Amino acid sequence: MVPIAYYLILSGILFACGVTGFLIKRNIISIFMSIELMLNGVNLSFVAFAAQWHALSGQIFVFFVMVVAAAEAAVGLAIIIAVYRTRETLNIDQVDLLKL
């Protein structure tokens, strides 16, 4: 028997790591991976709450979050490729203009 609080704390730690990575990372791909980490932390809390309230809709919602994350990854990585093609860098400190 594991208290639900443990699951929520684990999900909070993962989310906090994601936020920290989003703020301190300078490589645009690493920032993107931090976003995925945040999504994973939220998914864990969804599944934990679904188990607590005996509502399967929580697990369905995790499925939808994964679909959105997959779409986001595809579009985001295409944007990263386009940015790299025009600027030849992945450092976001050098990507600070919308237009070249």
Using CB under 8 A as the binding rule, the residues of this chain from 5 to 44 that contact another protein are: 5-10, 12-14, 16-18, 20-21, 24-27, 29-30, 32-34, 36-37, 40, 43-44
**Residue at token pair 């499925």:** 63
Interface map 44-83 toward another protein (x if CB under 8 A): x--xx-xxx-x-xx-xx-xxx-xxxxxxxxxx-xxxxxx-
Q: Least Å distance between CB 98 and another protein?
A: 15
Note whether 7 and 44 are within 8 A (CB). yes
CB atoms within 10 A of CB 96: 6
Tokens of 9: 């704390």
Token readout for 61 is 């919602």
Interaction between residue 87 and another protein (CB under 8 A): no
Binding-site size, another protein (CB under 8 A)? 66
Burial level of 98, CB count in 10 A (0-12/13-18/19+)? Answer: exposed
- The residues that bridge with 91 in the sheet, in sequence order, are 27
Question: Binding residues for another protein, per CB under 8 A?
Answer: 1-10, 12-14, 16-18, 20-21, 24-27, 29-30, 32-34, 36-37, 40, 43-44, 47-48, 50-52, 54, 56-57, 59-60, 62-64, 66-75, 77-82, 84-85, 90-91, 93
